[in-house]
Structure 1
Amino acid sequence: MTQVLDKPRQEVITLYGNRLRLRVCGLYCQNDQLLMVRHRGIGPTDTFWCPPGGGAQFGEAAPDALVREFAEETGLDVQVGELLFVNEFMQPPLHALELFFRVDALGGQLLAGTDPEMSADGQIIQEVRLMSFDEIKAYPPEEVHALFRLCHSLSDVFALRGYLPR
């Protein structure tokens, strides 16, 4: 029996599946809360929370890509700080090398943005909000980015360095 996939999940596989992607991700903290984006079309439960970010385009420097991704996904204008760590996201058919940077907001207005690569009815961004570490950890492990499995506090997130173990 062939499984019929929903439109967002099918678009994710078509656009990003079965190839290695370079993603840039930003860690933005305000009042002891981390900015998170809830996606659909990724993961077994169709809910996946992770810090804002996305794919770098050919010829685009990683910090420039992150500024663009933050504007698209969150409405915030950011300044990119230091590179903190690298994560290898492997959830077949998705495979991405993710560069995580510290970011500071310069302006803009927080909103749930869009992914310009996705169709209008295939949008995967469902919600954007600041979350406490306890809120993030209250989700099942498969519904949040794997980096949170390595951390016991928000300060642990910002202390991660190097290539993260899988």
Structure 2
Amino acid sequence: MTDDVDLPREEVLKLYGNRLRLRVCGLYREGDQLLMVRHRGIGPTNTFWCPPGGGAQFGEKAPVALSREFVEETGLEVEIGDLLFVNEFMLPPLHAMELFFIVTVTGGQLHQGTDPEMSIGGQIIEEVRFMTFAEIKSYPPEEVHDMFRYCNSLDEVFQLKGYLK
């Protein structure tokens, strides 16, 4: 029998483990806060905060994929802006190339969405909310996206460029 932690972890590994995945991610800021999504089933503590985003499907252009992912995860409709940086997410057996774009909200209502690839009991999105940079940095490093290790402020997040090493 699986419990509430095991099922999401099993689904994440089944869907995304041991293969390279292309992810698109959006940075949406309101004042001094960044929109973040908390996932379960990822990382050593089963808590992982990152900006909204997800996998591009075969034949789907990156901006279209990111718009779709934003609606699915947050309920927000967005316009895709500039590509800021590329991050290589490696947390074996997970491996993803992530493209980070600036986004602007054009409609919709913010709410906690779902991941259509996951079963009802295996949903990994636990919370969607705005966070200050200090809040993000207050979590242990393994519970937030690696990009925050390169920055000392929210402004610096939006100045990241190129491939993050």
TM bracket (short chain): over 0.9
The residue type paired with residue 73 of structure 1 is: E
Distance of 2:151 and 2:110 partners within structure 1: 26
- The number of residues matched between the two structures is 162
Distance of 1:152 and 1:31 partners within structure 2: 16
The alpha-carbon deviation at position 162 of structure 1 amounts to 0.1
Distance of 1:106 and 1:32 partners within structure 2: 19
Structure 1 counterpart of 2:116 = 116
Distance of 1:128 and 1:59 partners within structure 2: 28
Task: Answer yes or no: is 1:136 the counterpart of 2:141.
Answer: no
Residue 128 of structure 1 aligns to a residue in which SS? Answer: strand
What is the identity percentage for the equivalent residue pairs of Structure 1 and Structure 2?
A: 74
The residue type paired with residue 141 of structure 2 is: P
Residue 149 of structure 2 aligns to a residue in which SS? Answer: helix
The alpha-carbon deviation at position 28 of structure 1 amounts to 0.2
The residue type paired with residue 101 of structure 1 is: F
Structure 1 counterpart of 2:24 = 24
Structure 2 counterpart of 1:94 = 94
Structure-2-length-normalised TM-score: 0.97
Residue 77 of structure 1 aligns to a residue in which SS? Answer: strand
The residue type paired with residue 162 of structure 2 is: G
Deviations 1:67-115 (A, max 9, x none): 0000000000000000000000000000000000000000100001000
Structure 2 counterpart of 1:152 = 152
Distance of 1:30 and 1:77 partners within structure 2: 15
The alpha-carbon deviation at position 18 of structure 1 amounts to 0.2
CA RMSD of superposed structures (Å): 0.9
